[in-house]
Amino acid sequence: MAKKEFSFNDAVEEIEKILHNIESGDLDIDKLSVEVKRASDLIKLCQKKLRSTEEEINSIFKDLS
């Protein structure tokens, strides 16, 4: 559909995958902190997309009116 929709869904898929990896217990401890950090970054990114106005999108919409 659109760029932003694509990356939000991608982020969710990736977080799901990380959760699955950690829960399966196969992850070794060195990779654990990397994966947890990645999940945390993705979550923050998603929440940011929901709450901060993105200038790029904002200007497109301003041009439409």
Partner 1 sequence: MTEKVSLTELQLIIRDSLYMALPDFYWVIAEISELKENSAGHCYLELIEKHPDEKNVRARVKAIIWSKRFTFLKAFFENSTGETLREGLKILIKIKVEYHEVYGLSLIISDIDPAFTIGEMAMKRQLIIKRLEQEGVFTMNKDLRFPAVPQRIAIISSKNAAGYSDFVNHLKGNSFGYVFYTSLLETALQGTETEQSVISALDKIALTSHIFDLVVIIRGGGSQSDLSWFDNYNIAYHITQFPLPVITGIGHDKDVSVTDMVANMSMKTPTAVADFLIDSVAGAENYIIEMIPGIINASRNIIERNKTRIESSSIRLFPLSRIMLSAIKDTLTSKIIEINTTGKELIFRAALIPADQRSKLTSAVKSLFSRGKLALERNNQRFITGTKNFLAVSSVRMNSLESTLQLLNPQNVLQRGYTITSHNGEILKVSDQIREGDIIDTQFKDGTAKSKVIGKDDKRFEPQND
Residues contributing to the site for partner 1 (CB under 8 A): 1-2, 4-5, 8-9, 12, 15-16, 18-19, 22-23, 25, 27, 29, 32, 36, 39, 43, 46-47, 49-54, 57-58, 60-61, 64-65
- Region of 2 please: left (phi>0), alpha (psi -120 to 50) or beta: beta
Q: State how far the alpha carbon of 60 is from the alpha carbons of 3, 24, 54, 56, in Å.
A: 14, 44, 10, 7
Q: How far is the CB of 11 from partner 1 (least distance, A)?
A: 8
Beta carbon of residue 34, minimum distance to partner 1 (angstroms, whole number)? 12
